[in-house]
Amino acid sequence: MDKFVIRTPRIQNSPKKKLEEKVYKQATIESLKRVVVIEDIKRWKTMLELPDQTRDNLVAALQELKKKIPSREVLRSTKIGMRPASRKHFQSVLLLPTTRGHAVNKMRKHQDPEVAALAKEIYTEWKTFIEKHLDRPSIEVRSDPKTESFRKNAQKLLSEALELKMDHLLVENIERETFHLCSRLINGPYRRTVRALVFTLKHRAEIREQ
């Protein structure tokens, strides 16, 4: 049969460059700028307010906040926003109390230039958006009572282990970080992590004092 087969030398084909295709990532509801998870807002707020917080953590929290535009109701309820600069103008726009200490507003005067610049950007963007959308209604979805009850109990156990009040920023920060790392679920990992933290903080004074 070989005499009927015409053999030709193999020609190496030069590898063709694959055209770079754009990869499109499907957007989720939470990724939308106007969809705000209040739990995340409160978590970033505690990061900003915790004393002696590192510069990297402050920048990380502000960068996350920059991705969102909370409604005026969220700004008012979480006190993440800003203190009105002018009572007549700004208070009527944002409907925020005039008490000091709003997390983002406070960061505008931070000694680190990057932290201060980020806070100013967020302040300006939120202020501009809310002024233009005062009449837009907002929708709020709350956690179920069972979840809230579990989390309150975890905060109580942590506060007792730390020998601090339940409303202390450190207690709130630890619990919120734990909840976030457990995908905002009251599941086995959340319970185990809380138990481990409570045990460690109760029995290791050197960690509790840090």
**For position 26, what pLDDT does the model report?**
63
Residues 6 or more apart whose Cβ sits within 8 Å of residue 7: none
Q: CA 39, CA 178: separation in Å to the nearest integer?
A: 12
Burial class (CB in 10 A: 0-12, 13-18, 19+), 182: middle
For 64, phi then psi, to 5°, come to -70, -40
**For position 139, what pLDDT does the model report?**
67
Burial class (CB in 10 A: 0-12, 13-18, 19+), 157: buried
**For position 33, what pLDDT does the model report?**
75
Q: Which residue's structure tokens are 């903080």?
A: 201
Q: Which two tokens stand for residue 182?
A: 């457990």
Q: Which residue's structure tokens are 């601090």?
A: 164
pTM of the predicted structure, to 2 decimals: 0.66
Q: pLDDT tens track of the chain, all 210 residues?
A: 555 555 666 655 555 555 566 666 666 766 777 788 888 889 999 999 988 899 999 999 999 999 988 888 888 888 776 544 444 444 434 434 333 347 888 899 999 999 999 999 999 998 888 888 776 666 666 778 899 999 999 999 999 999 999 989 999 999 999 999 998 889 999 999 999 999 999 888 777 676
**For position 161, what pLDDT does the model report?**
92
Q: Give the chain as a DSSP string.
A: -GGG-------PPPPPPPPPPPPPPPPPGGGSTT---HHHHHHHHHHHHSTT--HHHHHHHHHHHHT----HHHHHHH--S---SSTTTHHHHH-----S--HHHHHTT-SSHHHHHHHHHHHHHHHHHHHH-TT------PPPHHHHHHHHHHHHHHHHHHTS-TT-HHHHHHHHHHHHHTTT--SHHHHHHHHHHHHHHHH-HHHHT-
Contact status, residue 24 vs residue 157, Cβ threshold 8 Å: no
Angle formed by the axes of helices 169-181 and 188-203, to 10°?
140
Contact status, residue 178 vs residue 194, Cβ threshold 8 Å: yes
Residues 6 or more apart whose Cβ sits within 8 Å of residue 53: 47
